[in-house]
């Protein structure tokens, strides 16, 4: 059964959404778990790619946004929610991930704001109707675990 974790960001920091997503990517890379990060658009892909290069001085996330390099980095960033081949997905797109049963885990990262939360509630209901195991993970501060 697929596990879906809703990370609901309450941190008001301007980069809280990006930072928490980067931490999830770093954790996946540390575990050697091939992970697909789904972004809302190509501009979003490019922005997150740039962010990962410098989000922390003490933690590097090996990643790529180039499909030809996807096999050589544990984290692949793209904007096609239909992309297969990844058991772990980090969803930054604000849209539901299709074929949930093909995934072991989906991390939904929800930025602050009522409109974002309403969209997340709709996805929660859809995923639940599909039989996924759901978990709510509130994030009060994205930098609580930073060790630099």
pLDDT at 83: 87
- Domains in the chain, number: 1
Q: Range of 125's domain?
A: 3-139
pLDDT digits (tens, 9 = 90+) for 5-14: 999 999 999 9
pLDDT digits (tens, 9 = 90+) for 50-109: 999 998 999 999 999 998 888 889 999 999 998 888 999 999 999 999 999 999 999 999
pLDDT at 1: 76
pLDDT at 71: 83
Query: Is residue 122 a part of any domain in this protein?
Result: yes
Query: Is residue 10 a part of any domain in this protein?
Result: yes
Query: Is residue 87 a part of any domain in this protein?
Result: yes
Predicted confidence band at 145 (pLDDT cuts at 50, 70, 90)?
low
> Is residue 146 predicted with pLDDT exceeding 70?
no
Average pLDDT on 126-145 reads: 92
Query: Is residue 146 a part of any domain in this protein?
Result: no
Query: Is residue 113 a part of any domain in this protein?
Result: yes
Short-list 97, 106, 105, 112, CA closest to 142: 112
Give dist(CA 80, CA 147) in Å, integer. Answer: 34
pLDDT digits (tens, 9 = 90+) for 16-35: 999 999 999 999 999 999 99
pLDDT at 70: 83
Query: Is residue 147 a part of any domain in this protein?
Result: no
pLDDT at 132: 94
Query: Is residue 148 a part of any domain in this protein?
Result: no
Q: Report, in this order, helix, strand and coil percent for the chain, each rounded to 5.
A: 35, 25, 40
Give dist(CA 66, CA 120) in Å, integer. Answer: 28
Query: Is residue 144 a part of any domain in this protein?
Result: no
Report the CATH number that the domain containing residue 95 is assigned in CATH.
Answer: 3.40.50.10110
pLDDT at 73: 92
């Amino acid at each position: 059964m697929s596990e879906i974790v809703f990370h609901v960001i309450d941190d008001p920091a301007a980069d809280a959404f990006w930072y928490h997503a980067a931490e999830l990517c770093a954790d996946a890379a540390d575990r050697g778990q091939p992970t697909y990060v789904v972004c809302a658009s190509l501009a979003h892909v490019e922005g997150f790619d740039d962010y990962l290069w410098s989000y922390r001085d003490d933690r590097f996330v090996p990643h790529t946004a180039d499909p030809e390099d996807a096999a050589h980095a544990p984290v692949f960033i793209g904007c096609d929610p239909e992309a297969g081949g990844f058991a772990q997905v980090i969803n930054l797109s604000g849209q539901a991930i299709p074929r949930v049963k093909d995934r072991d885990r989906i991390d939904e990262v929800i930025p602050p704001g009522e409109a974002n939360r309403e969209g997340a509630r709709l996805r929660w209901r859809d995923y639940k109707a599909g039989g996924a195991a759901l978990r709510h993970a509130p994030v009060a501060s994205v930098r609580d675990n930073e060790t630099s």
